[in-house]
A and B are shown apart, each in its own frame.
Chain A
């Protein structure tokens, strides 16, 4: 079992829908990152958070440290949001500065 699990693995939506992607982790963490990868493209950082909630445009990320869970929400989804969304955590371990990745959620938004 992976230390970082995402659900769903695949998600399709109609333009305008509200999207939620979930991330659960089993290790103690110092921070959690949400990343985006477009087909054939590199990886782009969306959020880095260690508590509470962050918002950037139509994207909202929340984290519940006690429940070891984070969610990424997309409001008013658009076809250009189609990408793979990846959750990655920074372990609590001393002298470790690396990301532990989930397998990603592939999102397709249709017009």
Chain B
């Protein structure tokens, strides 16, 4: 069974450009999470989908970030326009249990390293 897959693995873009990150969760996992680690800091929550619905987007830093999960399968995270402080590693995770991370482990992707120059 394929794990959580993220594309691209690395992205270097100029300030002001747009970047779209993609996450393919494990098939059948309704819960999909986006997290981010900026340099030297702990990993922080961005948002949580249950199927195609945004359950919690309290961690999204500002309106330059847009996440979608059309059809409840893969998800995209678009940053437009990118700023220098957006640089970091973006992780996607998925879990199966409808009760969420209280009751089950999360499966993480390899992450996308975003560098904004």
- Which A residues form the contact surface with B (CB < 8 A)? 2, 4, 30-31, 33, 35, 41-45, 48, 50, 86, 88, 90, 95-104
Contacts and interface: CB of A to CB of B under 8 A. Distances in A.
B58 to A, nearest CB: 8
Contacts of A90: 100-102
Pairs A-B, 3 closest by C-beta atoms = A97-B100, A45-B105, A43-B108
Interface string B33-66: 1010000011111001000000110010000000
Contact of A97 (B4, B35, B56, B109): B56
A42 B42 contact: no
Contacts of A96: 56
Interface of B: 3-4, 31, 33, 35, 41-45, 48, 55-56, 59, 91, 93, 100-111
